[in-house]
């Protein structure tokens, strides 16, 4: 079984990040810095990371790269 962070702490952190991103000045500052603020839930973020790893793995394998 994989480690699961404390749910309440994760939810609180996610809520606080979302509040910061929701502020117009903060949002614009992130955009100006080249970020793409989206405010995903922890589960959505985990799913995105998992899918990105799978995509990158296929590309690396097609290029002949092996895990180190």
* Residue 5 and residue 31 in one domain: yes
Rounded CA separation 17/32 (Å): 18
Interval 9-57: pLDDT, tens: 888 888 898 899 999 999 999 999 999 888 788 888 889 999 999 999 9
Helix intervals (H) in the chain: 7-22, 24-32, 42-62
Same domain, 44 and 33: no
List the domain range (segments joined by +) for residue 8.
1-37
Which residues, including other chains, have CB under 8 Å from residue 39's CB and lie 6 or more apart?
A: 17, 18, 21, 22
Number of separate domains in the chain: 2
Residues 17 and 45 occupy one common structural domain? no
Angstrom distance (rounded) from CA 63 to CA 68: 15
pTM: 0.59
CA atoms within 13 A on the CB side of 43: 1
Q: Are residues 44 and 66 in the same domain?
A: yes
Q: Are residues 33 and 43 in the same domain?
A: no
């Amino acid at each position: 079984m994989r480690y699961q962070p404390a749910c309440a702490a994760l939810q609180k952190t996610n809520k606080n990040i979302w509040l910061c991103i929701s502020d117009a000045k903060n949002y614009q500052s992130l955009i100006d810095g080249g970020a793409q603020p989206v405010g995903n839930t922890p589960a959505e973020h985990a799913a995105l990371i998992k899918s990105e790893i799978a995509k990158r793995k296929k590309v690396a394998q097609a290029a002949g790269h092996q895990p180190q």
